[in-house]
Structure 1
């Protein structure tokens, strides 16, 4: 039943606090799950682009498994169980929403690109680009990762767990906004870290980070809306994966044909990695 049509009995403050706590828990979990990758190749710490593809792939996969682990622990601890997970094959209507999500996210991406160029707005890179390092093979690997690990793990934690938990205290559209805001804010460390020394970040870097976070927030609204309308995790996951794969595909083609790559939404190789330290 649509949460907007029934009485909500949860506290907005408590629900928001739980949602923020789950996001932080997800980030903390990735710090533990990615440790084997750093042990496999210490170059990931000092010069990520020089690390082996095996190590970089392991890092990305383990990072997203951390999000899934955090969500799974929450479901187990609250006795919600796996029946709480809205994972099922979409109906015809569901696939229409997937298509709308893909088209909408790509249109949003290009709209932002145009605005950033016209207004000469700065953006900052997400740390994930340090691990891709202009390596075409790694880009192809990342396309597989977004389909099998990135999109499923992020949508599970931020949509099926966090956004759904917010339904107890907010209308569905309010929950989409709050979950998307949390989703954007947890990117702050990754964007600031990519800007340079965290102790010497100036106003320009902070402004560039704000622009990039606004883009992440907008993209998250699209995927959150898809989940709110369908109650099916497969729908936003499929749209999210296709969108990220599209972005990596553009990057691959740019490198393949030696094009100047100036991606106005730079770091928005959508919400790929939050905190990789």
Structure 2
């Protein structure tokens, strides 16, 4: 992020406004964790979250009054990371600490509130550490929101394209929608995903006055091949490490919607295995790495873009897990975020879309193949 912490962010107001925003977010986090504590919630995770939320408030407060150097902003960011982890763990263990909103008739989980505001505090703390001022923070927040919407647009584009493709398929086969098999629907959905994502990507390029040279496609070099092999090894190593940590800590993750469908009809996996390499990997990486991550390079540093792009990638996957509870969804999205960091780093290091596409595709294909052999 140092590449984008330019002089326009370095005005005196920058040292006041940004820590002030962080302090406000951390104060909300602190309140959302201290209230359950005062009400007798017996959860070490909530108590830990409250303690580190207080630390984050104090760090931002010190920065707000310029009593310390910018390294204390790192303390605020790290403290917020701990709050995020503690709140996520508490949610996963079923601790919600819900309260009724007066006059609205709705309840809100204080622990979930702390989880969200801690996540925002992390971003503000990192921005403050790198000297980003209010103008820069606003620009980065707006850019993140825009590309989050573009990411969600990928989901809708795929669904719309699938619906459009179903019309000629039904006409050609002379059947009704209800009579289509799960395998047929899976095949059409994969074509729909490819078509919808491609149209959205081309639309973005056109709206941004970019041509197809923006797409980083080239024949993999020997170095790229090493990155492909290394990426596959690292991504499976990461999933093994995350699984081990979850099992040790007693964290439950949500089941992907595709896994639930495959349990009922494993045959669809025979479609998804090749589709992983031919469709899912290439087209998801086209949108989330070559379009979103690359576009973020102009606002964030390249490594910052990897992290922000991975946050967007993880949030977009919420729809794949939303049948589970918030704690289980949070755990699954944490896994997706970790895997996305690997894919984003591979793309950042090679500037070749084929590299993360193959790493992503091979990973998915192996996972689907393993599921198939477990089910049959």
Unaligned runs of 5+ in 2: 9-135, 171-175
Partner of 1:20: 148
Give yes or no for the alignment of 1:33 onto 2:185.
no
The whole-number CA distance in structure 2 between the counterparts of 1:189 and 1:108 is 23
> Which is worse superposed, 173-182 or 136-145?
136-145
Deviation at 1:71, TM superposition (A): 1.1
Instruction: For 1:107-122, list aligned pairs within 5 A.
Output: 107-122=237-252
The whole-number CA distance in structure 2 between the counterparts of 1:13 and 1:120 is 34
Residue aligned with 1:87, SS = coil
The whole-number CA distance in structure 2 between the counterparts of 1:98 and 1:5 is 28
CA, structure 1 residues 5+96, in 2 after alignment: closer, same or farther (shift >3 Å)?
A: farther
Give yes or no for the alignment of 1:151 onto 2:271.
no
Partner of 2:230: 100
The whole-number CA distance in structure 1 between the counterparts of 2:318 and 2:271 is 25
CA, structure 1 residues 23+239, in 2 after alignment: closer, same or farther (shift >3 Å)?
A: same
Q: TM-score by structure 1 length?
A: 0.79
Partner of 1:66: 196
CA, structure 1 residues 7+209, in 2 after alignment: closer, same or farther (shift >3 Å)?
A: closer
Mapped contact 1:166–1:175 kept (Cα < 8 A): yes
Give yes or no for the alignment of 1:252 onto 2:372.
yes
Higher relative CO (Cα under 8 Å, sequence separation at least 6) belongs to: 1
Max Rg structure: 2
Deviation at 1:7, TM superposition (A): 8.5
Partner of 1:206: 326
Mapped contact 1:56–1:131 kept (Cα < 8 A): no
Give yes or no for the alignment of 1:127 onto 2:257.
yes
Partner of 2:216: 86
Instruction: For 1:47-62, list aligned pairs within 5 A.
Output: 51-62=181-192
Partner of 2:363: 243
The whole-number CA distance in structure 2 between the counterparts of 1:59 and 1:237 is 19
Q: TM-score by structure 2 length?
A: 0.59
Give yes or no for the alignment of 1:226 onto 2:356.
no
Q: Which has a greater percent of helix?
A: 2
> Which is worse superposed, 154-163 or 17-26?
17-26
Residue aligned with 1:187, SS = helix
What's the Cα RMSD here? 2.4
1:185-206 per-residue CA deviation (whole Å, 9 max, x = no partner) reads 11122311x33xxxxxxxxx11
Residue aligned with 2:321, SS = helix
1:213-244 per-residue CA deviation (whole Å, 9 max, x = no partner) reads 00000000000000101111011011111111
Unaligned runs of 5+ in 1: 45-49, 196-204, 257-277
Deviation at 1:42, TM superposition (A): 4.0
Partner of 1:170: 300
The whole-number CA distance in structure 2 between the counterparts of 1:80 and 1:24 is 21
Mapped contact 1:12–1:170 kept (Cα < 8 A): yes
CA, structure 1 residues 133+36, in 2 after alignment: closer, same or farther (shift >3 Å)?
A: farther
